Amino acid sequence: MPRPPLTVSLALAALALVLAAATLPAVGQTPKYGGVLATSPISAPPSLSPHEEATIAVVASASVCFNNLVYFDPQKKQESAATVVPELAERWSWQDGSRTLVFFLRKGVKWHDGKPFTSQDVKYTFDMVRGAPDAKGKLRVNPRKLWYENVEAIEAPDPYTVAFRLKRPQPALLLMLASGYSPVYPAHVPPAEFRTRCVGTGPFKLKDHRPGEYVEFVKNPDYFVKGRPYMDGVKVVFIKDRSTQIAALQAGQLDVAGSGWNKANAETAMKGAAGLVVIEADGGTNDNVLVNFKRPPFTDVRVRRALNLALDRAAYVKGPRQGGASLGGAMLPPPAGVWGLSPADLAKLPGTGDPTRQKTEAKRLLAEAGFGPAKPLKVAVSTRAVAIYVDTASWMVDQLQQVGIDATLEQIETGVWHPKMTRRDYQIALNVTGVGVDDPDANLVENFKCGSPRNYSDYCSEEIDRMIAEQSQMTDRAARLKLVNDIDRRLQLDGARPILGWGKQYYAMWPHVKNYVPHENSIYNNSRMQDIWLDKR
């Protein structure tokens, strides 16, 4: 076996060392108070309103200002029902056969403008998000309305109790409420104001916001968690150019960076700064192929299956993802994911076996459907004109050409991407999907349910919809996992929205940053920063 070059070996050894160091908890160290954490998200957020956006840039920039009713424990790497912890709710209780979720709220909590927090704020927020006819506020755009479609009514019988009455049992609602996308807004501040400022109850208060430049927060002295936060403030700096972002981290102007970084970015950062810590985490973002189920020839199951077989998943991990990805189905696979297929299951899915054999089978299916060298299938692979999309889409074009498909790349400007997908004005497309909550009720419902706004493929199976609804009501975790795995297998075999794999995230930080724990199965739910401290003095 050829030996890797010395530089590569050294780099790998160094990476292993820093990974080991990074995963060491700050055990035995007494947290220190003070300091301001400087960080930089993937891009400048379009606004500071998590309820109106669907990008990590907003959650990463604004979460320190807010609180949820409940939140995923920031110190636990894997999010699940077992890691949901109280925030504005002191405790909660399922009642009426899991049809009503009652929250008992903390008393004495104040908004950053001094007004008291009550159950009316919770009702106001979630009536607005679920689009209730009598909601007192309206969002400009409402990306997560679907999460709350099972909520029949929200009642606030007294200032410190709020009840979510459901149409049917849905244990996973608690997880959706624990997402970084589910903060509670104050009823006395118009929702439009959150685009440029924030009034929350969170550990840090807004000090200054220069759209596109930075957002600065200072410690909230009235924070309801005693002794938190440790830091005096957080400064979120928006740096558009990735090389400049890396240089700013290396030069010590940033304490943490890495949101949206790939493996190459992390390696570049480490080469120029001894001591920098890099953490690799799964993060719950997948590359998937949108197949237009309403446009021939993709109405033909043989063509869809050929397409799925032609895309060699191992080559995807090595190629466009440079080793920084793992194979999976619709749900993030274990050990990072809670609901994904096992390695044994994944090995049986199209695209994961012997590539030569799979490609031969793909050619046979295409021939059966009437396509071959004399009459090649012409396909445009659409994707957003963004580097990470284009890299993978170009790889797809090459893979499809290997089975005789006359594939070409169509780059679509970001501004018209979703309108084009919504109009189904594409044949096949390479898409990237970040999963807000690692739960089938969020992921499967959003992307695979008939008629869902984000089901861009128009895949629709009454049987799958029935199974999705059934798993949603189950309280037995093992039985639910079995059913979810069954759904996932069917989705992959149907080529509903073939998953190429789940990309890994790379976080880079200086060792003086303590208690920063990237989550393994979602990038959206650990930005509160109340437990982070700086070992600088």
Partner 1 sequence: MRAYIVKRLIVAVATLLGMSILVFALMRLAPGNITDIIFESAGYVDEEDKKRLEEELGIDRPIAAQYGRWLADLVRGELGKSYRFDRPAWEIIQPRLPVTVELAVLALVFSVVLGVPTGVISAIRQDRPLDYVLRVLSLAGLSMPSFWLGMIIILVLVRSLGWIPSVTYVSPFDDLWANLAQFLLPALAVGYRSSALIMRFTRSAMLEVLREDYIRTAWAKGQREGPVVWRHALKNASLPVVTLIGIEFAFLIGGLIVTETVFNLPGVARYLVDAILWRDYPIVQNLTMLIAVVVVLANLAVDLLYAWLDPRIKYETA
- By CB under 8 A, name the binding residues for partner 1: 44, 46-47, 52-55, 140-143, 192, 195-196, 210-214, 235, 237, 239-241, 243-244, 247-248, 250-254, 272-273, 413-419, 422, 453-454
Compute the residue count for the chain. Answer: 537
Which of 11/26 has CB closer to partner 1? 11
Which of 345/425 has CB closer to partner 1? 425
Q: How far apart are CA 173 and CA 167, in angstroms?
A: 12
DSSP-derived letter for residue 235 is E
Which of 333/436 has CB closer to partner 1? 436
Strand partners, 400: none
Which of 65/70 has CB closer to partner 1? 65
The beta strands (E) that lie in 127-196 are given as: 151-158, 161-166
Smallest gap, in angstroms, from Cβ of residue 205 to partner 1?
19
The beta strands (E) that lie in 264-311 are given as: 277-291
Which of 317/421 has CB closer to partner 1? 421
Q: How far apart are CA 255 and CA 508, in angstroms?
A: 8
The beta strands (E) that lie in 413-509 are given as: 428-434, 499-509
Contacts 24+ apart (CB under 8 A), 105-108: 105/69, 105/159, 105/160, 105/161, 105/162, 106/160, 106/224, 107/160, 108/224
What Å distances lie between residue 453 and 145, 147, 288, 377, 446, CA to CA?
A: 10, 12, 16, 29, 7
Smallest gap, in angstroms, from Cβ of residue 471 to partner 1?
23
Smallest gap, in angstroms, from Cβ of residue 489 to partner 1?
26
- Cβ atoms of 514 and 531 closer than 8 Å: no
Which of 83/265 has CB closer to partner 1? 265
Smallest gap, in angstroms, from Cβ of residue 423 to partner 1?
9
Smallest gap, in angstroms, from Cβ of residue 183 to partner 1?
16
Smallest gap, in angstroms, from Cβ of residue 240 to partner 1?
5
Which of 8/141 has CB closer to partner 1? 141
- Cβ atoms of 159 and 118 closer than 8 Å: yes
Query: b or e along 209-245 (b: 16 or more beta carbons within 10 Å of the residue's beta carbon)?
Result: beeeebbbbbbbeebbeeebbbbebbbbbbbeebeeb
Smallest gap, in angstroms, from Cβ of residue 385 to partner 1?
11
DSSP-derived letter for residue 77 is S
**Residue 468: what residue type?**
I
Which of 65/303 has CB closer to partner 1? 65
